[in-house]
Amino acid sequence: MSFYDELKLLSREQLKLALYSIGPAEVERALVNSEGDLSSLMALLSPAAEPYIEEMAIRAAEITRQRFGTNIGMYLPLYLSNLCANDCDYCGFSMSNKLKRKFLTADELQQEMNIIKGQGFDSILLVSGEHESKVGIDYFCSMLPLVKKQFSYVAMEVQPLEEDEYRRLVNLGLDAVMLYQETYNPTTYQKHHTWGKKQDYRYRVESPERIARSGVDKIGLGVLLGLDDWRLDALLLGHHLSYLERHYWRCRYSLSLPRLRPCTGGISPQTVLTDKGLVQLICAFRLFNQQLEISLSTRESASFRDNLYGLGVTHISAGSSTEPGGYSNPKSQLDQFEINDDRSSAETVNAMLAKGFTPVWKDWQSEWVNLA
Residues at the site binding another protein, with contacts judged by CB under 8 A:
29, 31-33, 36, 53-55, 57-59, 61, 245-247, 249, 275-276, 279, 303-304, 307, 310-311
- For 2-9, the CB contacts below 8 A with 24+ separation are 2/205, 2/206, 2/209, 3/205, 3/206, 3/208, 3/209, 3/239, 3/240, 3/243, 3/244, 4/202, 4/205, 4/206, 6/239, 6/243, 7/184, 7/205, 7/236, 7/239, 7/240
Rounded to a whole number of angstroms, the minimum distance from the CB of residue 270 to another protein is 23
130 binding partner (options another protein, ligand SF4, none; Cβ < 5 to 8 Å by kind)? ligand SF4
Among residues 135 and 279, whose Cβ is nearest to ligand SF4? 135
284 Cβ contact partners less than 8 Å away, ≥ 6 residues apart: 41, 44, 45, 49, 56, 234
Rounded to a whole number of angstroms, the minimum distance from the CB of residue 95 to ligand SF4 is 7
Among residues 76 and 273, whose Cβ is nearest to another protein? 273
25 binding partner (options another protein, ligand SF4, none; Cβ < 5 to 8 Å by kind)? none
Rounded to a whole number of angstroms, the minimum distance from the CB of residue 175 to ligand SF4 is 21
Rounded to a whole number of angstroms, the minimum distance from the CB of residue 319 to ligand SF4 is 22
State the Cα–Cα distance between residues 335 and 238, nearest whole angstrom: 30
Rounded to a whole number of angstroms, the minimum distance from the CB of residue 14 to another protein is 19
65 binding partner (options another protein, ligand SF4, none; Cβ < 5 to 8 Å by kind)? none
Among residues 309 and 337, whose Cβ is nearest to another protein? 309
Distances (CA, A) of 192 to 90, 159, 183, 217, 226: 7, 16, 10, 31, 12
167 binding partner (options another protein, ligand SF4, none; Cβ < 5 to 8 Å by kind)? none
Q: Tell me the residue ranges of DSSP E strands in the chain.
A: 71-81, 87-88, 123-128, 153-157, 176-178, 193-195, 218-222, 252-256, 293-296, 315-317, 358-360
263 binding partner (options another protein, ligand SF4, none; Cβ < 5 to 8 Å by kind)? none
- Residue 214 φ/ψ, nearest 5 degrees: -80, -10
Chain center to CA of 220: 5
Rounded to a whole number of angstroms, the minimum distance from the CB of residue 29 to another protein is 7
Among residues 7 and 91, whose Cβ is nearest to ligand SF4? 91
Rounded to a whole number of angstroms, the minimum distance from the CB of residue 365 to ligand SF4 is 32
State the Cα–Cα distance between residues 140 and 268, nearest whole angstrom: 32
Among residues 307 and 332, whose Cβ is nearest to ligand SF4? 332
Among residues 197 and 362, whose Cβ is nearest to ligand SF4? 197
351 binding partner (options another protein, ligand SF4, none; Cβ < 5 to 8 Å by kind)? none
Q: Note the residues at the interface with ligand SF4 (CB under 6 A).
A: 84, 86, 88, 91, 93-94, 129-130, 198
Helix or strand run (H / E) with residue 142: helix 137-150
Single-letter code of the amino acid located at 273: L
